[in-house]
Amino acid sequence: MKQKLDLCGQNCPLPLLKTKKYLANIQHGDFVEVLTTDPSSINDIANFCAKTGNILVSQTTQNDITTTVIRKKL
Instruction: Identify the three-state secondary structure at position 27.
Output: coil
Indicate which CATH number applies to the domain containing 57: 3.30.110.40
* Residue 12 annotated among the catalytic residues of the structure: yes
Domain count, the chain: 1
Q: Say if residue 13 is preceded by a cis peptide, omega within 30 of 0.
A: yes
Q: What is the pLDDT of residues 11-68, one digit of tens each?
A: 999 999 999 999 999 999 999 999 999 999 999 999 999 999 999 999 999 999 999 9
Determine the pLDDT at residue 2: 74
pTM of the model: 0.93
The boundaries of the domain holding residue 30 are 2-71
Which of the residues 6, 8, 11, 12 is marked catalytic?
Answer: 12
